[in-house]
Homo-oligomer: A and B are copies of this chain.
Amino acid sequence: MAVGILNDKNEILARLEAQTRTGDPPEALIKRMQDLLKKTMDKAGITAIRHLGIGCPGILDRKKGLVLFSNNFHWENVPLASIFRRHMDIPIYMENDANCAALGEYLAGSGKRYDPMLMVTLGTGIGGGLIIHNKLYRGKSGNANIIGHITLSPSGGQQCSCGRTGCFETYASVSALVRMAEEAAGTHPDSLLAKAQKASHLNGKNIFEAIHKGDRAACMVFKDFVFYLSEGIADLINLLEPQAIILGGAISAQGNTLLDPLVSLVKDKIYCGPQSMPVILTSGLGNDAGIIGAACLDEFQ
Protein backbone atom coordinates (compact mmCIF):
# COMPACT_ATOMS: atom_id res chain seq x y z
CA MET A 1 0.00 0.00 0.00
CA ALA A 2 1.10 3.54 -0.71
CA VAL A 3 0.02 6.89 0.69
CA GLY A 4 0.65 10.25 -0.93
CA ILE A 5 -0.06 13.82 0.11
CA LEU A 6 -0.82 16.13 -2.82
CA ASN A 7 -1.02 19.89 -3.11
CA ASP A 8 -3.54 21.84 -5.19
CA LYS A 9 -1.45 21.35 -8.33
CA ASN A 10 -1.70 17.55 -8.02
CA GLU A 11 1.97 17.35 -7.08
CA ILE A 12 3.00 14.69 -4.59
CA LEU A 13 4.52 16.39 -1.52
CA ALA A 14 5.28 13.18 0.33
CA ARG A 15 4.70 9.49 -0.22
CA LEU A 16 5.30 6.36 1.83
CA GLU A 17 4.77 2.69 1.16
CA ALA A 18 4.25 -0.36 3.32
CA GLN A 19 3.68 -4.04 2.72
CA THR A 20 0.13 -5.34 2.95
CA ARG A 21 -0.30 -8.68 4.62
CA THR A 22 -3.22 -10.31 2.88
CA GLY A 23 -4.12 -12.45 5.90
CA ASP A 24 -4.78 -9.40 8.12
CA PRO A 25 -8.37 -8.80 9.21
CA PRO A 26 -9.81 -5.58 7.76
CA GLU A 27 -9.57 -3.58 11.00
CA ALA A 28 -5.85 -4.38 11.44
CA LEU A 29 -5.04 -3.48 7.85
CA ILE A 30 -7.06 -0.28 7.99
CA LYS A 31 -5.30 0.66 11.24
CA ARG A 32 -1.97 0.25 9.44
CA MET A 33 -3.27 2.38 6.55
CA GLN A 34 -4.21 5.11 9.02
CA ASP A 35 -0.79 4.95 10.70
CA LEU A 36 0.88 5.22 7.28
CA LEU A 37 -1.29 8.21 6.43
CA LYS A 38 -0.28 9.89 9.71
CA LYS A 39 3.44 9.27 8.99
CA THR A 40 3.08 10.61 5.44
CA MET A 41 1.38 13.77 6.76
CA ASP A 42 4.27 14.20 9.23
CA LYS A 43 6.75 13.75 6.39
CA ALA A 44 4.92 16.42 4.35
CA GLY A 45 4.91 18.68 7.43
CA ILE A 46 1.14 19.10 7.52
CA THR A 47 -1.43 18.50 10.25
CA ALA A 48 -4.65 18.35 8.23
CA ILE A 49 -5.88 17.20 4.82
CA ARG A 50 -8.96 18.44 2.95
CA HIS A 51 -10.20 15.10 1.68
CA LEU A 52 -9.11 11.49 1.38
CA GLY A 53 -9.25 9.38 -1.77
CA ILE A 54 -8.83 5.62 -1.48
CA GLY A 55 -7.97 3.37 -4.40
CA CYS A 56 -8.77 -0.24 -3.64
CA PRO A 57 -8.68 -3.44 -5.66
CA GLY A 58 -11.81 -5.55 -5.93
CA ILE A 59 -15.51 -5.14 -6.50
CA LEU A 60 -16.80 -2.06 -4.71
CA ASP A 61 -19.99 -0.31 -3.82
CA ARG A 62 -18.44 3.09 -4.22
CA LYS A 63 -21.41 5.11 -3.00
CA LYS A 64 -21.77 3.12 0.21
CA GLY A 65 -17.99 2.94 0.65
CA LEU A 66 -18.11 -0.85 0.77
CA VAL A 67 -15.57 -3.35 -0.50
CA LEU A 68 -18.01 -6.03 -1.66
CA PHE A 69 -15.30 -8.47 -2.59
CA SER A 70 -11.54 -8.26 -2.75
CA ASN A 71 -9.70 -11.26 -4.04
CA ASN A 72 -6.36 -9.73 -2.96
CA PHE A 73 -7.33 -9.20 0.69
CA HIS A 74 -9.91 -12.00 1.01
CA TRP A 75 -12.41 -9.32 2.06
CA GLU A 76 -16.17 -9.48 1.75
CA ASN A 77 -18.53 -6.60 2.54
CA VAL A 78 -15.96 -4.49 4.38
CA PRO A 79 -17.21 -0.93 5.10
CA LEU A 80 -13.81 0.59 4.34
CA ALA A 81 -14.96 4.22 4.06
CA SER A 82 -17.06 4.04 7.26
CA ILE A 83 -14.13 2.70 9.27
CA PHE A 84 -11.98 5.61 8.06
CA ARG A 85 -14.80 8.06 8.81
CA ARG A 86 -14.86 7.04 12.47
CA HIS A 87 -11.51 8.77 12.86
CA MET A 88 -11.67 11.55 10.26
CA ASP A 89 -14.23 14.26 9.73
CA ILE A 90 -13.41 14.99 6.07
CA PRO A 91 -14.91 13.82 2.75
CA ILE A 92 -13.70 10.31 1.91
CA TYR A 93 -13.90 8.96 -1.65
CA MET A 94 -13.33 5.37 -2.69
CA GLU A 95 -12.68 3.97 -6.13
CA ASN A 96 -11.31 0.87 -7.82
CA ASP A 97 -7.51 1.09 -7.98
CA ALA A 98 -7.39 0.57 -11.76
CA ASN A 99 -9.80 3.48 -12.21
CA CYS A 100 -7.58 5.62 -9.97
CA ALA A 101 -4.51 4.76 -12.06
CA ALA A 102 -6.41 5.63 -15.27
CA LEU A 103 -7.50 8.94 -13.78
CA GLY A 104 -3.94 9.72 -12.67
CA GLU A 105 -2.55 9.04 -16.15
CA TYR A 106 -5.33 11.15 -17.67
CA LEU A 107 -4.72 14.09 -15.36
CA ALA A 108 -0.95 14.05 -15.05
CA GLY A 109 0.62 11.23 -17.06
CA SER A 110 0.87 9.72 -20.55
CA GLY A 111 -2.86 10.01 -21.09
CA LYS A 112 -3.01 13.76 -20.63
CA ARG A 113 -5.46 15.43 -22.98
CA TYR A 114 -6.70 12.18 -24.60
CA ASP A 115 -10.43 11.50 -24.37
CA PRO A 116 -11.61 8.74 -24.66
CA MET A 117 -8.59 7.31 -22.87
CA LEU A 118 -8.23 3.68 -21.90
CA MET A 119 -5.70 2.41 -19.40
CA VAL A 120 -4.80 -1.28 -19.48
CA THR A 121 -2.77 -2.54 -16.52
CA LEU A 122 -0.82 -5.75 -17.08
CA GLY A 123 -0.05 -7.36 -13.75
CA THR A 124 -1.02 -10.58 -11.99
CA GLY A 125 -4.27 -10.06 -13.87
CA ILE A 126 -5.32 -7.39 -16.36
CA GLY A 127 -7.15 -4.35 -15.07
CA GLY A 128 -8.46 -1.30 -16.77
CA GLY A 129 -9.88 2.17 -16.45
CA LEU A 130 -11.64 4.34 -18.99
CA ILE A 131 -12.16 8.07 -19.32
CA ILE A 132 -15.07 9.18 -21.50
CA HIS A 133 -16.35 12.74 -21.88
CA ASN A 134 -13.89 13.91 -19.20
CA LYS A 135 -15.42 11.53 -16.65
CA LEU A 136 -14.43 8.20 -15.18
CA TYR A 137 -16.54 5.62 -16.98
CA ARG A 138 -18.06 3.44 -14.28
CA GLY A 139 -21.05 1.58 -15.73
CA LYS A 140 -24.19 0.45 -13.91
CA SER A 141 -22.78 -0.49 -10.50
CA GLY A 142 -19.39 1.20 -10.80
CA ASN A 143 -17.56 -2.00 -11.71
CA ALA A 144 -17.14 -1.66 -15.48
CA ASN A 145 -13.79 -2.10 -17.24
CA ILE A 146 -13.23 -5.72 -16.23
CA ILE A 147 -10.84 -5.86 -19.15
CA GLY A 148 -9.09 -9.02 -17.99
CA HIS A 149 -12.27 -11.01 -18.42
CA ILE A 150 -13.15 -10.61 -22.03
CA THR A 151 -12.71 -14.06 -23.43
CA LEU A 152 -10.30 -14.95 -26.19
CA SER A 153 -11.23 -18.60 -26.21
CA PRO A 154 -14.53 -19.67 -24.66
CA SER A 155 -14.16 -23.35 -25.52
CA GLY A 156 -10.96 -25.15 -24.73
CA GLY A 157 -8.94 -22.15 -23.57
CA GLN A 158 -7.04 -21.74 -20.32
CA GLN A 159 -9.17 -22.07 -17.19
CA CYS A 160 -9.65 -18.65 -15.57
CA SER A 161 -10.18 -17.97 -11.87
CA CYS A 162 -13.48 -16.28 -12.78
CA GLY A 163 -14.99 -19.60 -13.85
CA ARG A 164 -14.84 -19.05 -17.61
CA THR A 165 -12.10 -20.23 -19.93
CA GLY A 166 -9.76 -18.32 -22.17
CA CYS A 167 -10.09 -14.88 -20.56
CA PHE A 168 -7.74 -12.14 -21.80
CA GLU A 169 -5.75 -12.23 -18.55
CA THR A 170 -5.04 -15.95 -18.89
CA TYR A 171 -3.04 -15.05 -22.04
CA ALA A 172 -1.66 -11.54 -21.66
CA SER A 173 -1.02 -10.83 -17.97
CA VAL A 174 2.37 -11.18 -16.29
CA SER A 175 1.10 -14.41 -14.69
CA ALA A 176 0.32 -15.71 -18.18
CA LEU A 177 3.78 -14.73 -19.40
CA VAL A 178 5.35 -16.61 -16.51
CA ARG A 179 3.16 -19.67 -17.16
CA MET A 180 4.11 -19.70 -20.86
CA ALA A 181 7.79 -19.23 -19.96
CA GLU A 182 7.62 -22.16 -17.51
CA GLU A 183 6.16 -24.36 -20.22
CA ALA A 184 8.88 -23.26 -22.66
CA ALA A 185 11.60 -23.88 -20.06
CA GLY A 186 10.30 -27.44 -19.75
CA THR A 187 10.45 -28.11 -23.47
CA HIS A 188 13.73 -26.20 -24.04
CA PRO A 189 16.06 -27.47 -21.28
CA ASP A 190 19.10 -25.67 -22.78
CA SER A 191 17.42 -22.28 -22.91
CA LEU A 192 18.24 -19.32 -20.69
CA LEU A 193 14.66 -19.64 -19.45
CA ALA A 194 15.39 -23.15 -18.17
CA LYS A 195 18.61 -21.97 -16.55
CA ALA A 196 16.84 -19.06 -14.84
CA GLN A 197 14.17 -21.43 -13.64
CA LYS A 198 16.77 -23.76 -12.16
CA ALA A 199 18.54 -20.85 -10.41
CA SER A 200 15.37 -19.64 -8.68
CA HIS A 201 11.96 -19.28 -10.32
CA LEU A 202 10.77 -17.47 -13.42
CA ASN A 203 9.40 -13.94 -13.10
CA GLY A 204 8.94 -10.91 -15.33
CA LYS A 205 12.49 -9.76 -14.62
CA ASN A 206 14.46 -12.88 -15.61
CA ILE A 207 12.11 -13.62 -18.52
CA PHE A 208 12.81 -10.20 -20.03
CA GLU A 209 16.53 -10.62 -19.35
CA ALA A 210 16.38 -13.80 -21.46
CA ILE A 211 14.40 -11.98 -24.16
CA HIS A 212 16.91 -9.13 -24.28
CA LYS A 213 19.76 -11.67 -24.58
CA GLY A 214 17.98 -13.17 -27.61
CA ASP A 215 17.20 -16.55 -26.01
CA ARG A 216 15.15 -18.33 -28.64
CA ALA A 217 12.66 -19.97 -26.25
CA ALA A 218 12.11 -16.68 -24.42
CA CYS A 219 11.61 -14.80 -27.70
CA MET A 220 9.03 -17.35 -28.86
CA VAL A 221 7.15 -16.95 -25.58
CA PHE A 222 7.25 -13.18 -25.94
CA LYS A 223 5.99 -13.42 -29.53
CA ASP A 224 2.98 -15.48 -28.36
CA PHE A 225 2.40 -13.12 -25.46
CA VAL A 226 2.36 -10.07 -27.73
CA PHE A 227 0.08 -11.91 -30.19
CA TYR A 228 -2.54 -12.47 -27.50
CA LEU A 229 -2.09 -8.97 -26.11
CA SER A 230 -2.63 -7.56 -29.61
CA GLU A 231 -5.86 -9.58 -29.98
CA GLY A 232 -7.30 -8.13 -26.79
CA ILE A 233 -6.11 -4.61 -27.58
CA ALA A 234 -7.59 -4.84 -31.10
CA ASP A 235 -10.92 -5.92 -29.57
CA LEU A 236 -10.85 -2.95 -27.22
CA ILE A 237 -10.12 -0.57 -30.12
CA ASN A 238 -12.90 -2.06 -32.26
CA LEU A 239 -15.30 -1.58 -29.38
CA LEU A 240 -14.19 1.69 -27.84
CA GLU A 241 -11.97 3.43 -30.39
CA PRO A 242 -10.12 5.42 -27.72
CA GLN A 243 -7.80 8.31 -28.56
CA ALA A 244 -5.09 6.69 -26.47
CA ILE A 245 -4.34 3.41 -24.75
CA ILE A 246 -1.94 3.61 -21.81
CA LEU A 247 -0.27 0.38 -20.76
CA GLY A 248 0.51 0.12 -17.07
CA GLY A 249 1.92 -2.45 -14.69
CA ALA A 250 5.53 -3.50 -14.18
CA ILE A 251 5.77 -4.84 -17.73
CA SER A 252 5.20 -1.36 -19.16
CA ALA A 253 8.78 -0.53 -18.08
CA GLN A 254 9.80 -2.54 -21.19
CA GLY A 255 8.83 0.47 -23.30
CA ASN A 256 9.48 -0.04 -27.01
CA THR A 257 10.43 -3.71 -26.58
CA LEU A 258 6.73 -4.15 -25.87
CA LEU A 259 5.24 -1.29 -27.88
CA ASP A 260 6.93 -1.83 -31.25
CA PRO A 261 5.72 -5.38 -31.96
CA LEU A 262 2.37 -4.68 -30.29
CA VAL A 263 1.57 -1.59 -32.39
CA SER A 264 2.64 -3.38 -35.55
CA LEU A 265 0.27 -6.31 -34.90
CA VAL A 266 -2.65 -4.20 -33.67
CA LYS A 267 -2.56 -1.97 -36.78
CA ASP A 268 -3.32 -4.96 -38.99
CA LYS A 269 -6.14 -6.23 -36.81
CA ILE A 270 -8.39 -3.25 -36.21
CA TYR A 271 -11.52 -3.08 -38.29
CA CYS A 272 -11.62 0.55 -39.37
CA GLY A 273 -7.97 0.97 -40.33
CA PRO A 274 -5.54 3.80 -39.52
CA GLN A 275 -8.19 6.37 -38.55
CA SER A 276 -9.16 4.16 -35.59
CA MET A 277 -5.62 3.56 -34.42
CA PRO A 278 -5.04 5.15 -31.02
CA VAL A 279 -1.78 6.36 -29.60
CA ILE A 280 -0.44 3.44 -27.54
CA LEU A 281 1.92 4.52 -24.76
CA THR A 282 3.36 3.12 -21.59
CA SER A 283 2.49 4.60 -18.22
CA GLY A 284 4.20 7.89 -17.44
CA LEU A 285 3.68 7.79 -13.71
CA GLY A 286 4.10 4.16 -12.67
CA ASN A 287 2.78 3.60 -9.17
CA ASP A 288 2.17 7.31 -8.65
CA ALA A 289 -0.73 7.20 -11.14
CA GLY A 290 -3.01 5.53 -8.59
CA ILE A 291 -2.05 7.99 -5.87
CA ILE A 292 -2.71 11.02 -8.04
CA GLY A 293 -5.99 9.58 -9.34
CA ALA A 294 -7.22 8.74 -5.84
CA ALA A 295 -6.34 12.23 -4.60
CA CYS A 296 -8.36 13.78 -7.44
CA LEU A 297 -11.50 11.71 -6.87
CA ASP A 298 -13.27 14.69 -5.32
CA GLU A 299 -13.60 16.21 -8.79
CA PHE A 300 -14.57 12.94 -10.49
CA GLN A 301 -17.63 11.75 -8.56
Contact = CB atoms under 8 A, between A and B. Distances in A.
Interface in A104-152: 116, 132-133, 135, 137-141, 143-147, 149-152
Given A152-B151, A154-B152, A234-B164, A141 B275 contact: yes
Interface residues of A, number: 47
Contact of A240 (B144, B152, B154, B235): B144
A228 interface: yes
A206 interface: no
Given A141-B241, A239-B145, A278-B140, A164 B269 contact: yes
B239 A150 contact: yes
A4 interface: no
A162 B227 CA distance: 17
Given A59-B272, A275-B141, A150 B241 contact: no
Contact of A276 (B140, B151, B243): B140
Contacts of A231: 151, 154, 164
A152 to B, nearest CB: 6
Given A140-B243, A143-B241, A241-B144, A271 B162 contact: yes
A243 B146 CA distance: 16
12 contacts: A59-B273, A133-B133, A139-B276, A140-B242, A141-B275, A143-B272, A143-B275, A144-B240, A146-B241, A150-B239, A163-B269, A164-B231
Given A132-B137, A153-B153, 20 more contacts: A59-B272, A61-B275, A116-B139, A116-B140, A138-B241, A140-B241, A140-B278, A141-B276, A143-B275, A144-B240, A147-B238, A147-B239, A152-B153, A153-B154, A162-B271, A163-B269, A164-B231, A164-B269, A236-B239, A239-B240
